Structure 1
Amino acid sequence: MSENIFGTTHGMSIREPSAGHKFKGHVIREVRGSEQSPVQLDTITDLPSRYKAVLLDQFGVLHDGVDPYPGAIQAVQALAQKGLRVLIISNSSRRSSGALGKLAAMGFAEEAFAGAITSGEVAHAALLHRQGQFWETLGNKCIHFTWGARGSISLQGLGLEVVRDVEKAEFVLAHGTEALGAGDGMEPTPISLEKIKEILRVAATKNLPLLIANPDVVTVDKNYLRLMPGMFGRWYNEMGGKECVLLGKPAPVIYKAAMQLLGLHDPKDVIAIGDSLEHDIAGAQSAGCDSVFVAGGIHAEELGVSGTSQTVEIEKLEALCEQHGAQPNFVISFLQ
């Protein structure tokens, strides 16, 4: 089943960015949900039966980047057994095709998932198909921020010329935070965050578009939070950059792709589950979906949630929701 779904991503429609796709400083705030406190769930199977599908985040929800969280494997099985179609929706900068294999290697049952869509897939499709004036006039010469030891992101087949001199670039593409790409077949060069900031400052003065193929600001990486390319959007905004396009959560484009993969049209048929108020919850709101906030992910320290203390203090949660302009419908300590 997942192979057919993956096959459709290559032909999905990625249109010209609207204001809702562009980085506005923190989060997309156009749509606010109910101001009532979210309903607390003991287990994910306590969800109402009105939903047809689940948009499920990975990092900080299913696993810590290395190991699955206790109860997460069983929770996914329980969702599937309830008849829900479970679609992974991830801000991973890598293509969708490898997502379920990695989860299977951690012990998740691949057949429990309806498929996966990643921000890396959305970015690839946007650059490949070039639909709309923005994409048609974007140019082909780019500065490419990618990963180093974790494995560089391939741009093969996109017709891009990777340059190292920002003065020669027509746009900046951010997949990772560790290295400066040199093009397929060439080794990327490790780069510091300070050097990245220098390049972004020049790019901002030249009004170059910044495309972010992973809008996460941080992600869970075992026992700490790792800085992610979404932080570049904040920096670019502060530097006066005029054109910063997010190609994953919370931008609507990835939710449209997810609904297309599921063959659904009404966002109220879908519930999103994630641990980032800024990305998963605010993005679901903007897309018109209900949401479940997993408090034990990237916000765990702020909320005082841990493996030994799973109580979510509503006052702290409400303050954090107000800070991020996001309002989940439900909250659960961990996916269980």
Structure 2
Amino acid sequence: MIDTHPTSFAGVTPSPAWAFAQYQQIRANLPEGLPAEQQPETRTLDSLAPLVDQFQAFVFDAFGVLNAGPRAFPSAIRRIRQLQERGKTVRILSNAATASHGALVAKYQGMGFDIKPGELVSSRWVLEQSLVRQPRQGRFGVLSPASSAPDTLGVDWLPVRPGIQAEDLDRLDGFIFLSSEGWNEEVQQVLTQSLARHPRPLLVANPDLVAPRGDCLTLEPGYFAHMLMSQSAIEPEFFGKPYRPAFDAVLQTLGGIDPADILMVGDTLHTDILGGQAAGMKTMLITAEGALQGMDVPDCIAQSGIVPDFIAPLI
């Protein structure tokens, strides 16, 4: 299957340095970080191995930590297996929202990760649970490819894809952004103009600005949602990391484990580390692949003021 997530948009081709700068620009729209007096003293490790007995539960970001696009990291498969054999509680907390929850679980099982449906919390699943608790009235435009099975959302919906007309958007009561797959400048402009004329709810499953997919970064729904927010009078509702709905959902699956006994492991300071700290978890930043690959990591930490408890190249 050909991946059609955009690797460029309006002359922008994302790089780790560009993505970091973009996260810094939207910092005011993200959760607050720890005050200076509560920042941890970061320990640099070769891997997660010395921490296996220190924590009761381990929560892993997916892209950049377990895999890059369709490529799973063999060391990650081995580490997850080791933790499970040691009786540790393992969760995957993913902002991926193109695939339904069941399809995403099957994807990671197919990569070699021995996980059950209850061990993966996706931002799409978090959104779907919110829609069950608080049904939204009216007809929603769903921003996603046909393969993403939007019927699982449980709303009356119309697909929003390239070629849709402005009058069709104006008749909708709100929008749900699942995936940037197939997104382009034309449909972004039409949606921006429609929301500027008539502000309506925008529910965003995936707040990521970029995602690592092998040898490139793709632009993700968070990038386009923040652009929409800056160009119209809307306040998107985000369901994935670093926002609380995602972390509250994963904590609920952990049966009352103290957040201080949970290690959040991710590759992005502004989503995984910031969100984990805001939820009271300890954090580990992974640097060999993903969002900060090739970057001056200490400088990024200093600029952002987001300080992980631990740093390692891989898990």
Interval containing the TM-score (normalised by the shorter chain): 0.7 to 0.9
Seq. identity, %: 24
Q: Which residue of 2 aligns with 1:154?
A: 150
Are 2:93 and 1:89 aligned? yes
Can you list the C-alpha shifts for 1:261-315, whole angstroms capped at 9, x where unaligned?
Answer: 1112521121100111111111101111111101123334442xxxxxxxxxxxx
1:110 is paired with a residue of what secondary structure?
coil
CA shift for structure 1 position 78: 2.2
TM-score using structure 1 length: 0.76
1:270 alignment partner AA: I
Are 2:219 and 1:224 aligned? no
> Any unmatched runs of 5+ in structure 2?
1-25
How do 1:90-239 and structure 2 match up within 5 A? Answer: 90-93=94-97, 94-110=99-115, 115-130=119-134, 138-147=136-145, 151-156=147-152, 158-162=154-158, 165-179=168-182, 191-239=183-231
TM-aligned CA distance change 1:202 to 1:334, over 3 Å: same
Further displaced range: 27-36 or 95-104? 27-36
Can you list the C-alpha shifts for 1:136-184, whole angstroms capped at 9, x where unaligned?
Answer: 6x53222221036xx23323461313275221122111011135xxxxx
RMSD value, Cα? 2.4
Paired with 2:149 and 2:35, the residues of 1 have a C-alpha distance of 35
1:85 alignment partner AA: T
Paired with 1:25 and 1:240, the residues of 2 have a C-alpha distance of 17
Paired with 2:68 and 2:114, the residues of 1 have a C-alpha distance of 18
1:52 to 35, 53, 56: 56
Q: Which residue of 1 aligns with 2:309?
A: 329
CA shift for structure 1 position 114: 6.3
> Any unmatched runs of 5+ in structure 1?
1-22, 131-135, 180-190, 304-315
2:71 is paired with a residue of what secondary structure?
coil
CA shift for structure 1 position 37: 4.7
Further displaced range: 31-40 or 209-218? 31-40
CA shift for structure 1 position 83: 2.7
Paired with 1:170 and 1:82, the residues of 2 have a C-alpha distance of 49
Asked whether the equivalents of residues 140 and 155 of structure 2 are also in contact (C-alpha less than 8 Å), the reply is no
Paired with 2:149 and 2:297, the residues of 1 have a C-alpha distance of 36
Paired with 1:221 and 1:38, the residues of 2 have a C-alpha distance of 28
Q: Which residue of 2 aligns with 1:253?
A: 245
Further displaced range: 38-47 or 156-165? 156-165
Can you list the C-alpha shifts for 1:30-58, whole angstroms capped at 9, x where unaligned?
Answer: 54474455211112111163321011111
Further displaced range: 55-64 or 139-148? 139-148
Are 2:260 and 1:268 aligned? yes
Can you list the C-alpha shifts for 1:310-336, whole angstroms capped at 9, x where unaligned?
Answer: xxxxxx32321244442211011122x
TM-aligned CA distance change 1:266 to 1:205, over 3 Å: farther
Can you list the C-alpha shifts for 1:229-283, whole angstroms capped at 9, x where unaligned?
Answer: 0112220232143321111111111111111111125211211001111111111
Paired with 2:34 and 2:301, the residues of 1 have a C-alpha distance of 14
1:297 to 279, 283, 289: 289
Paired with 2:198 and 2:286, the residues of 1 have a C-alpha distance of 40
Q: Which residue of 2 aligns with 1:13?
A: none
Q: How many equivalent pairs are there?
A: 281
TM-aligned CA distance change 1:331 to 1:197, over 3 Å: farther
CA shift for structure 1 position 98: 3.2
Further displaced range: 200-209 or 120-129? 200-209
Q: Which residue of 2 aligns with 1:41?
A: 45
Paired with 2:173 and 2:28, the residues of 1 have a C-alpha distance of 23
**Which of structure 1's runs of 4+ aligned residues deviate more than 6 A?**
none
1:293 is paired with a residue of what secondary structure?
strand
Asked whether the equivalents of residues 142 and 171 of structure 1 are also in contact (C-alpha less than 8 Å), the reply is yes
